[in-house]
Chain A
Amino acid sequence: MSLMTDKPRLRSAAWRISFLATIAFACGTLVIFVFLHQFVSNDIQRRSDAWLSGEVGVLGDVAGRTPRNALYRRVVGEIAELAAREVPNKSASAGSDNNSVFFLLTSADGLPQLWVGAGDGQSNLEAIKTTKFVPDKPTDVRVQGFPVPFRVACLQMGDGSHIYLGLSERDELRVLGKMRVRFLLLWLLVVLLGFGIVFLTTRRMLSHVRKITEAASKIGLSDLSERVPATHRNDEVSQLAHTLNRMLDRIESSMHQLHTITDALAHDLRSPLTAIRGKLEMSLAAMNGEETAEPIVSAIEELDQLTDFLNKSLDVAEARADALRLTVTEINLSRLLETMVDLYEPSMTEKGLHIRLSNEKGIIVLGDEGLVHRMIANLLDNELKHLVPPSTVSISLRSRDETADMVFEDDGNGFDPDVLEHLFIRRVKGKTSAGHGLGLAFADAVARAHGGTVEVVNRDVGGGRIAVSMPLAREKMRHQLVATAQAG
């Protein structure tokens, strides 16, 4: 079920990557636009300024050459009107009521002499009076009653009078405004499209990574024949898949070699053991319960112990190499422990030992039934063999988060401190202990093969404590919760 929880994480990675990429993209395009905007607006202003300077020059020339008589007003006025019609950047809508241009002639003492433009020009004059002009350089003038400023060029005539030619920046701003709106729409579209493309691409790529993760996590310790899915494209993800698969090939081949060795060893030892055991059984049958049969009986028993030792040794060896082969089924650990305690209780009682079980119901793990049975039997055999009566063995089984915790506690003498450190190493056993010293190493090996742990300590109050922890069969747990909820 860890696969299910991995999914949103990868999805959010796709979100994060596309979010960051989009922000970077949006900022980049925005900066480019600002530059472009600046450039265009400067260019428009430069053209307007060039026109203003040219026109004011023409007007000045005309005004200077026209005698100051009754016609003066008409001639200069018409020239100004004509100039106004050639306004650059002029939009069509502004055609009819032309208030985008004005012409003003002031006398040397600043009184208005000639006005061409919308209105009476009073407010324009006011604004011009408060503005300081640099010759040949048009300047921005804000006029009361007009929302946009005028660009005004000024020319001083020989007689001290001034000619002012003003051009509203309205059209210029309108062009820029339109440009901004269009850019914004286009920008939004491109950013959304970019986000979509990046998101889809990332998600596709990450979904491939997820498939690899899923496949890789399915390739358990026991089954190495599976491979992660690889595409034919030669990108990083497929390289990752290929690398993983090559690594799995190598692991599988060494695993295979190990299995071949242990199988060959098992086979070569088991065949003669079978023959010996068979012959011993036959001679035993022929003796028909005579006293002299005793050596044969003990030979058979020792042979069985030898077989058990061989099996355990190979299991421990394989488990240490993470190569133990499991046949996984659902195991009801609660029921198994009850049966085990039923099985061992008479022998314990016979020896003067007590056994107590505190069991949480319905705890299910996924595991190899044979190995888990043998592991628990081993731990109980250990208690039965080493505990000195009168002692009590307390077994408890609890589920905690994602593990089933099985604890064997006794109030005996505990473990020999010298060997406590090395209990899981094969053949380490207490001086007083009988057996092969494989018991705990075997339990540890089985727990490890199932993704669990074994912890052995001496209790503060005396006695030993063995805690076996194995991962719960999680989906099963969910079924149970549902069932209990329904029952309740």
Chain B
Amino acid sequence: MRLLLVEDEIDIQGFLGRSLQEAGYEVEVAPDAKTAEQLAVESRFDILVVDLGLPDRDGISLILRLRELGLKAPVLILSARRSVDDRVRGLEQGGDDYLTKPFALAELLARLRNLLKRNNPQPSEATRLRVLDLELDLLRREATRGGQTLQLTQQEFVLLEYLCRNAGRVVTRSMILDQVWGMRIQPDTNVVDVHIYRLRGKVDGAGQQPLIRTMRGVGYVFNDR
């Protein structure tokens, strides 16, 4: 996957470039809109990460210019601004995504994956999910582990489904709140942890391999190995 990162802050360029490379992207970095335009014309990218505050031009007008030039790849917009511009909303409706700084790396990666998936939709949605010995029947809303049916509430099932779909990848608390509860909030209490703790109690029985792993300071990972 070829990714174009348009960001002028050296510090952010550095860690973001490296993290994205580690996540498997082939990253090209452009420090300003002019370079970005050149790079985008010269070669093809699968996805772009564009910061709104560029030194020579506004990020939005860069994106609109690239679209004029025939760019089809989805764009993840990064912004340190407080308000979301109407033009950003327009782009969001057009299939691009928006992330406010500062962000958790896991969230950035998840959004990139979603953007790529949205652009290449899978032909058919599976009705069953399987991670190791855990199986989810999405139609009957039933979860079994090692053949044993788990007694889950509806909310717990949705949470487990979200974790399974992202098995092997880090999900943050904000991502869980956003995707499972539909809320973009940052509680300074342990609300998500208690839900995970309860779910873990039902999924990871005594003597079984723990599936839900806490990554301190980052979030959670659902083990897939």
List A246-305 residues whose CB lies under 8 Å from chain B: 259, 262-263, 266-267, 270-282, 284-285, 289, 293-294, 296-301, 303-305
Q: Contact: A370 with B184, CB < 8 Å?
A: yes
| Size class of the contact patch on chain B | 35 or more
Q: Contact: B217 with A266, CB < 8 Å?
A: no
* B11 at interface by CB-CB < 8 Å: yes
Q: State the CA gap A267–B53 with chains docked (Å).
A: 9
Instruction: Write out the residue numbers on chain A whose beta carbons fall within 8 Å of the beta carbon of B100.
Output: 270
* B182 at interface by CB-CB < 8 Å: yes
Known contacts being A270-B101, A307-B102, is A282 close to B188, with CB within 8 Å? no
Q: Contact: A304 with B191, CB < 8 Å?
A: no
Q: Contact: B11 with A275, CB < 8 Å?
A: yes
CB-contact partner of B102 in A270, A339, A343, A380, under 8 A = A270
B145 to chain A, nearest CB (A): 21
Main secondary structure, interface of B, reads loop
CB-contact partner of A347 in B16, B22, B177, B191, under 8 A = B191
Q: Contact: B101 with A274, CB < 8 Å?
A: yes
Looking across the interface, which residue of chain A has its beta carbon closest to that of B196? A346
Q: Contact: A327 with B84, CB < 8 Å?
A: yes
Instruction: Write out the residue numbers on chain B whose beta carbons fall within 8 Å of the beta carbon of A343.
Output: 177, 181, 183, 191, 195
CB-contact partner of B185 in A279, A293, A342, A373, under 8 A = A373
* A418 at interface by CB-CB < 8 Å: no
Q: State the CA gap A278–B185 with chains docked (Å).
A: 20
Instruction: Write out the residue numbers on chain B whose beta carbons fall within 8 Å of the beta carbon of A301.
Output: 217
Q: State the CA gap A340–B185 with chains docked (Å).
A: 11
Instruction: Write out the residue numbers on chain A whose beta carbons fall within 8 Å of the beta carbon of B185.
Output: 373-374, 377
Looking across the interface, which residue of chain B has its beta carbon closest to that of A259? B83
Q: Contact: A305 with B188, CB < 8 Å?
A: yes
A385 to chain B, nearest CB (A): 6
A113 to chain B, nearest CB (A): 111
Q: State the CA gap A224–B194 with chains docked (Å).
A: 44
Q: State the CA gap A263–B81 with chains docked (Å).
A: 6
A331 to chain B, nearest CB (A): 11
Looking across the interface, which residue of chain A has its beta carbon closest to that of B172? A304
Q: State the CA gap A384–B194 with chains docked (Å).
A: 13
* B218 at interface by CB-CB < 8 Å: yes
B59 to chain A, nearest CB (A): 12
* A344 at interface by CB-CB < 8 Å: yes
Instruction: Write out the residue numbers on chain A whose beta carbons fall within 8 Å of the beta carbon of B11.
Output: 272, 275, 278-279
**Can you name 12 extra interface pairs (CB under 8 A) apart from A274-B103, A278-B15, A344-B191?**
A270-B101, A279-B11, A281-B218, A293-B216, A293-B217, A299-B217, A339-B183, A343-B183, A346-B198, A370-B184, A381-B187, A381-B188
